[in-house]
């Protein structure tokens, strides 16, 4: 618990997004300099809650519409947080972090931070807005206020997403609406028990900060998916591919060319992780012959990971240097609450 007799030390990270956008005549665009607006919001929060906040603003190299995010953007944000937390504020340790981010890839960046910063024992809260600050009916100030409250509540550490009056584990959050104020949801609760990252992986996550982002991506199964498309995806994402499968981990992948493509990926060291597109349930590759065939070709079952968490977990582990059996073992563990192992009942 933090010392409530002094001002809490909080790092505020502004990444862009709808929260701080303005009309350009060609549509909304992110404002790069929102310092005065954010300072006013912090001051207003402090007045409402009765004491000041000792805070510092950090901004990534590029302030963007989050739809412009690349495969390295989320890790750049995580690395910035790690760097500024290490520096501290006013000679003391940072006690909490709030990140203002665009909604399109908010769940992706929050999930990435959950894994890349799993060794940091402080609350890190991501938020954003569906309507820009200053626009009538905007949700920006409410979400900002809620995020501050969540970050400074003194509750358990970890990465959370706060939006539309709800707080949820970042490793379970998904965007469900492009318009509603309650745009994000965690359909699955944080999985328990949490294995944790352990000291060795924690050291690796810290040591790899600012290393290049591994090229990890996703391919969604559709009927008739050609083997050439599977091969192209593996070429594009040589450090890891997530397959968003049907049901319990099936897909149009059992033709000779598909299986040979998967075997080549396995032999070349490209991990392939299968998840389900279903909102409920988990991957169980041996359940059907189709799933068993791709498992034999090297595909790894991803339990009930969300797409965002699957990409983030695989990318974080690859950047930390994991491969082969060590990678498979880490993917099978519930590191931060991201996955319920197949066959085990979630806690309610």
Among 103, 127, 250, 276, which one carries the catalytic annotation? Answer: 103
Round to whole Å and give the CA distance between 84 and 93: 10
Peptide bond into 193 cis (omega under 30): yes
CB-neighbour burial class of residue 196 (10 A; exposed 0-12, middle 13-18, buried 19+): middle
User: Are the C-beta atoms of residues 122 and 85 closer than 8 Å to each other?
Assistant: yes
Question: Residue 163: beta bridge partners?
Answer: 166
Round to whole Å and give the CA distance between 39 and 26: 28
Question: What count of Cα atoms within 13 Å lies in the side-chain half-sphere of residue 70?
Answer: 9
Cβ neighbours of residue 102 under 8 Å, at least 6 residues apart? 15, 16, 17, 18, 19, 30, 64, 65, 66, 67, 128
103 is catalytic: yes
What b/e string do you get for 250-270 counting C-beta neighbours within 10 Å, with b at 16 or more?
Answer: bbbbbeeebbebbeebbeeeb
User: Are the C-beta atoms of residues 96 and 49 closer than 8 Å to each other?
Assistant: no
Q: What sign for the dihedral angle of Cα 64, 69, 75, 76?
A: negative
Question: Residue 139: beta bridge partners?
Answer: none
Cβ neighbours of residue 12 under 8 Å, at least 6 residues apart? 38, 42, 55, 56, 57, 58, 97, 98, 100
User: Are the C-beta atoms of residues 195 and 333 closer than 8 Å to each other?
Assistant: yes
Catalytic residues: 103
């Amino acid at each position: 618990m933090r010392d409530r007799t002094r001002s809490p030390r909080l790092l505020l990270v502004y990444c862009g997004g709808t929260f701080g956008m303005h009309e350009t005549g060609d549509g909304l665009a992110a404002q790069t300099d929102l310092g005065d607006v954010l300072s006013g919001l912090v001051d207003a929060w402090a007045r409402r809650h009765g004491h000041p906040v000792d805070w510092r603003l950090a901004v990534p190299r590029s302030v963007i519409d989050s739809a412009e995010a690349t495969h390295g953007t989320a890790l750049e944000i995580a690395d910035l947080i790690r760097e500024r937390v290490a520096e501290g504020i006013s000679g003391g340790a940072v006690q909490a972090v709030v990140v203002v981010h665009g909604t399109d890839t908010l769940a992706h960046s929050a999930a990435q931070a959950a894994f890349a910063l799993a060794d940091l024992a402080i609350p890190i809260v991501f938020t954003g807005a569906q309507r820009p600050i200053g626009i009538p009916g905007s949700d920006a100030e409410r979400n900002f206020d809620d995020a501050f409250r969540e970050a400074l509540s003194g509750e358990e550490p970890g990465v959370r997403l706060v939006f539309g009056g709800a707080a949820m584990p970042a490793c379970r959050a998904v965007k469900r609406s492009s318009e509603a104020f309650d745009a994000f949801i965690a359909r699955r609760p944080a999985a328990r028990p949490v294995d944790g990252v352990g000291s060795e992986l924690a050291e690796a996550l810290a040591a790899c900060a600012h290393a290049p982002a591994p090229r990890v991506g996703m391919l969604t199964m559709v009927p008739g998916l050609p083997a050439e498309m599977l091969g192209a995806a593996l070429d594009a994402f040589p450090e890891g591919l997530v397959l968003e499968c049907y049901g319990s981990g099936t897909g149009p992948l059992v033709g000779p060319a598909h299986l040979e493509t998967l075997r080549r990926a396995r032999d070349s060291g490209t991990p392939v992780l299968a998840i389900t597109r279903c909102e409920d349930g988990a991957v169980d590759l041996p359940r059907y012959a189709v799933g068993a065939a791709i498992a034999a070709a090297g595909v790894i079952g991803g339990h009930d990971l969300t797409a965002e968490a699957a990409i983030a977990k695989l990318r974080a582990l690859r950047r930390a240097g994991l491969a082969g059996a060590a990678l498979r073992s880490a993917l099978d563990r519930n590191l931060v609450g991201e996955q319920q192992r197949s066959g085990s009942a979630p806690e309610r």
